[in-house]
Structure 1
Amino acid sequence: MEYLDIVTEDGIPTGVTKERNSVHRDGDLHRTSHVWIAREDQEHGMEILLQKRSMNKDSHPGCYDISSAGHIPAGMGYLESALRELMEELGVHAEPEELIDKGLRRVRWQETFHGRIFRDNQVSRVYLLWKDVDISKLCLQTEEVESVCWMEYAKCFREVQENSMPNCIALEELRMLKQ
């Protein structure tokens, strides 16, 4: 079972922990870390690595998403969790100083997946990692990630804005990458 810290609006743990499924059932405020992997392409400019979520995920199955993201286990910090998720989901090693902190983003929404209400109420720390990874050499965590692809930043922004690809990407977060 995965336990999460219940946090304040600023993302500070309150001392209360709850099991992940209960957190999403009840809509408790918790933390996540989001890491966007980017590279510079001479022809297209900035490209970002997208992951396609596994069809077995409890939210947004089969949708394109952030390069690597995850809930922060109770007692762990944003940066430590971000580095762990990169390794677990993609097999990508990064040093703490390689992650560029792009700030906090407040997320709140509710949807039904697999016949159950899913309430997401989180404080997310967004990071940018400049790393030209060879996707054929990534070690994908198949329970989490179906596939990955590089996409031109402008194309991704447009497709998210027009909702022309299945995704759970926030335009606000894409904007944070360019700041």
Structure 2
Amino acid sequence: MAKEILDIVDDNGQPTGEVIDRVTAHREGILHRTSHVWLVRIKDGRQQVLLQKRSEEKDSYPGCYDISSAGHIPAGVDFVPSALRELKEELGVEVQAEDLVYCGQRKFHFEEIFHGERFKDNQISNVYLLWMDREAEEFQIQKEELSEVRWFDFEECIEDVKNGTIPNCIYTEELEMVGKDNHKAQK
């Protein structure tokens, strides 16, 4: 498998002109970019959010529920094109850039041990919301990346994440960002 090459970025998420491979970025905690897309819908009068369950083979948080679609941004690519590519690869979803509702940008850092190796994630993420009313079984999931997708009641999901009642690697702050913007461009 070819190495994934990422832009090294400054504190504002702007590429510095230097690149690094993903493995080294996570071993050394080098700042890089990701795109996060949260799929939401209204079902039976309640807002729902789609979560993916990460594959057991993932290099971080295997078997945990996560953002609907997310991914590292390859060197030379920007946030939105990367978000659109990840949606197609992970979920089989094709949409236009204007379908994404920008919710904001987050910077975060964490260190954990996964599969016996230290993993240092240091990233800047643009967060997007995408309205999509599609049943979970209609998504064409990328089996190498995720084992399933499932709709959760939005408010219950926030509580499940806060209380740790589902295995997850979700930041409540990010879900709340999406919740604030859920009225924008509702379809």
Q: What is the CA distance between 1:135 and its match in structure 2?
A: 1.8
Which letter does structure 2 place at the counterpart of 1:122? Answer: Q
Q: 1:6-25 to 2 correspondence within 5 Å?
A: 6-25=8-27
Residue in 1 that maps onto 2:86 = 85
Residue in 2 that maps onto 1:175 = 176
Distance in 2 of aligned mates of 1:91 and 1:135:
12
Q: What is the CA distance between 1:24 and its match in structure 2?
A: 0.2
Normalising to structure 2: TM-score of the pair?
A: 0.94
Which letter does structure 1 place at the counterpart of 2:20? Answer: K
Q: What is the CA distance between 1:134 and its match in structure 2?
A: 2.3
Deviations 1:102-126 (A, max 9, x none): 0101110000000000000000000
Q: What is the CA distance between 1:42 and its match in structure 2?
A: 2.8
Distance in 2 of aligned mates of 1:42 and 1:105:
31
Which letter does structure 2 place at the counterpart of 1:52? Answer: K
Residue in 1 that maps onto 2:48 = 47
Which letter does structure 2 place at the counterpart of 1:9? Answer: D
Q: What is the CA distance between 1:138 and its match in structure 2?
A: 1.3
Distance in 2 of aligned mates of 1:42 and 1:148:
19
Distance in 2 of aligned mates of 1:111 and 1:10:
24
Give the match's secondary structure for 1:58.
coil
State the number of aligned residues: 178
Distance in 2 of aligned mates of 1:104 and 1:133:
27
Distance in 2 of aligned mates of 1:168 and 1:148:
15
Pairwise CA RMSD: 0.7
Which letter does structure 2 place at the counterpart of 1:37? Answer: L
Deviations 1:102-160 (A, max 9, x none): 01011100000000000000000000000112221211111101000000001100000
Identity of counterpart residues, as a percentage?
Answer: 51
Distance in 2 of aligned mates of 1:107 and 1:74:
20
Residue in 1 that maps onto 2:163 = 162
Q: Once superposed, which parts of structure 1, at least 4 consecutive aligned residues long, lie more than 4 Å away? A: none
Unpaired runs of 5+ residues, structure 2, are 181-187
Normalising to structure 1: TM-score of the pair?
A: 0.98
2:11 counterpart of 1:4 = no
Distance in 2 of aligned mates of 1:129 and 1:49:
10
**Which of 26, 29, 35 is the matching residue for 1:27?**
29
Distance in 2 of aligned mates of 1:125 and 1:133:
24
Deviations 1:48-89 (A, max 9, x none): 000000000000000000000000000000000000000000
